[in-house]
Each structure stands twice: as C-alpha cells, then as structure tokens.
Amino acid sequence: MTLLFAPAIDPTAAFALSGDPEDKAVTGPLQSFTATEDADTKASRGDYKVTDAPVAAAPGSHTAPAAGTPNPGSAMAIAHDMVMAKGWGEAQYDCLVALWNKESHWNIYAFNAGSGAYGIPQAVPGNKMASAGADWKTSAKTQITWGLGYIQGRYANPCGAWGHSQSKGWY
C-alpha cells in the first residue's frame, strides 16, 4: 500500500490514504510512503521509517547538543554519574541536559505555579519525588534519582524523553 502525503504548507493541504495520485483530496506536492511487512516498521521512505518503537538516539549519534563535562559536585555531575551507571552513554546524558535545561535550568527549587511542577525534573505534583527520598524538596540527588526513574519507565531513556519534549513541548 502506498500512502500519499501533501506537506502542510497551507491549511488546505490534505492527506490521502489512497494509492491514486489523481486523488483530488490531496493538494500540494506529493511524497509517497510505502507500508512494509516488518513488524516494527509501519511505513518507510528512503532512510526514514515510521515505527511504534520508543524514540532513542542511534549509537554514536546526538539528538541534543553536546553537554560537555559537568562541574564536579554539581547536579549535572550527579546526573552524569547516574546516566553512565545505567549504561546509557554520553548521547543520553546530552539529551538529559538539554531536557532539564529546558525544564528547570537544573534548579532544585524551580517551581511552576501554573502546573505545580517542582524541582530539576519538574515533577507534577512535586511530592511524587518523595518516593525517591524524604529530602525531595532540597536534594538534587533525590530529584535526579526520581527523574531518571520516571524517564526510564515512560520513555525508555533521556533521548526518548527529549524527543517527546521537542515534539509535544512537555515530557
């Protein structure tokens, strides 16, 4: 099956689920995507694939800017050690830094009055982090421990969370 896609250059652009390039519901330049029988791949075009798999960086690639070496003793250094201990590697750390720079700028006291989000990972509500330690309001290590657990459980890894944040504006 071939799916036709008209990029949404204007609000009148449309999608067609027909293989007929003469379909009048489609406007604008067409690109075709071919469905495959691969269980993990739903559709492909050249090097691009549509899958149900979690978003993750390919080994050796970066989906976020390089974070560099964190200052010893800082929240970023704590996170770096934890990310490496999980075996996620530098690319995952880079995604985590980009994500939490966006969320809280690594401020353990960051608070969003509109949502109630708190801390480095911007947990909603903040007291969810008590599951990682009673000192959740003041401890970078406790907040990072909770945040990495949340990320792993929901997005598989930091690049999965970063990718979701980039597409949805939140994670």
Please write the tens of the pLDDT for every residue from 20-29.
Answer: 344 333 333 4
- What pLDDT sits at residue 113? 95
Verify that 86 and 160 share a domain, yes or no. Answer: yes
Question: Does a structural domain hold residue 114?
Answer: yes
Q: Does one domain contain both 44 and 85?
A: no
Residue 121, in any domain of the structure: yes
Output b/e per residue, 77-99; b: 16+ Cβ within 10 A.
Answer: ebbbebbeeeebeebbbbbbbbb
Q: What predicted TM-score, i.e. pTM, was given to this entire model? A: 0.62
- Does any domain span residue 125? yes
Q: Are residues 79 and 148 in the same domain?
A: yes
123 with 39, same domain? no
Per-residue confidence (pLDDT) for residue 88, from 0 to 100: 97
- Asked if residue 33 is part of any domain, the answer here is yes
Higher pLDDT, 106 or 22: 106
Mark whether 90 and 163 lie in a shared domain. yes
Write out the residue range of the structural domain in which residue 154 sits. Answer: 75-168
Is the link from the previous residue into 11 a cis peptide, with omega within 30 of 0? Answer: no
H-helix segments, the chain:
75-85, 90-103, 140-155, 158-168
Summarize pLDDT for 28-80 with one digit per residue, the tens: 343 443 444 444 444 444 444 444 444 444 444 447 878 878 877 899 999 99
Higher pLDDT among residues 52 and 148, named by residue: 148
**Residue whose pair of structure tokens reads 């689920």 in the numeric block:** 17
> Which one is predicted more confidently, 23 or 118?
118
41 with 109, same domain: the answer is: no
- Which residue from 35, 7, 8 is spatially nearest to 19, judged by alpha carbons? 35
Domains in the chain, number = 2
Within a domain: residue 86? yes
